[in-house]
Structure 1
Amino acid sequence: MDGIADMGGTRGWGPVRPPRRDEPVFEESWQGRAFVLAILSSRIACDGINPDAFRHAQERLGRAAYLDDGYYGRWLNAAELMLTDSAVLAPGAIEARARNLRDEGVEEPPAPEPARPDYAPTAEGSLRTVDTTPAFTLGQRVRAKHMSVPGHTRLPGYVRGHTGVVEVVQPAAVLPDTNAHFQGESPQHVYSVRFDSHELWGADAEPFTLILEMYETYLETP
Structure 2
Amino acid sequence: MNGVHDMGGMQGFGPVQPEANEPVFHAPWEGRVLALRRAAGAWRKWNIDFGRHTIETLPPADYLRMSYYEKWFASTIKLIVGAGLVTKEEVETGRPAAGSKRETPPLTPDKVMPILKAGGPTLRETNAKPRFADGAPVRARDINPAGHTRLPRYVRGRMGTIECHHGAHVFPDTNSKFEGEKPQYLYTVRFEARELWGEGANPRDTVHLDLWEEYLDPA
TM-score by length of 1: 0.82
Corresponding letter in the other structure for 2:56: E
Distance 1:127 1:19 in 2: 33
Paired AA for residue 7 in structure 1: M
> Which structure 2 segments of 5+ residues have no match?
102-119
Bigger Cα displacement from structure 2, 198-207 vs 174-183: 198-207
1:17 aligns to what?
17
Q: Distance in 1 between matches of 2:85 and 2:99?
A: 7
Counterparts of 1:201 and 1:110 in 2: how far apart (Å)?
58
After TM superposition, give the deviation of residue 110 of structure 1 in Å.
Answer: 8.3
Amino acid at match of 1:79: T
In the alignment, which residue of structure 2 is the partner of 1:67? Answer: 64
- Is contact 1:42–1:82 with CA below 8 Å preserved after alignment? no
Question: Alignment RMSD, CA only?
Answer: 2.4
2:116 paired residue number: none
Other-structure match for 1:191: 187
Shift of 1:42: 2.8
**Unaligned 5+ residue runs, structure 1?**
101-107, 114-123
2:123 aligns with one of 113, 120, 127: 127
Q: Which whole-Å deviations, capped at 9, do the CAs of 1:150-200 have from their partners, x for residues lacking one?
A: 111111111100011001111110000111111111000110000111111
- TM-score when normalising by structure 2: 0.83
Whole-Å Cα distance in 2 between the matches of residues 111 and 197 of structure 1? 60
Q: Aligned residue for 1:118?
A: none
Pair 1:163 & 2:162 matched: no
Residue number in structure 2 paired with 1:119 = none
Name the CA distance, whole Å, in 2 between partners of 1:221 and 1:111: 59
The superposition leaves residues 38-82 of structure 1 with CA deviations (integer Å, 9 ceiling, x where unpaired) of: 222233361x6x211111111111124323220111111111111
User: Which one is further off, 137-146 or 195-204?
Assistant: 195-204
CA distance 1:19–1:199, shift in 2 (3 Å): farther
What is the aligned partner in structure 1 of residue 133 from structure 2? 137
Q: Is the 8 A contact 1:166 1:191 kept in 2?
A: yes
CA distance in 2, matches of 1:112, 1:220: 52
Q: What secondary structure does 1:65 align onto? A: helix
The amino acid that maps onto 1:15 is: P
Q: Secondary structure at the match of 2:51?
A: helix
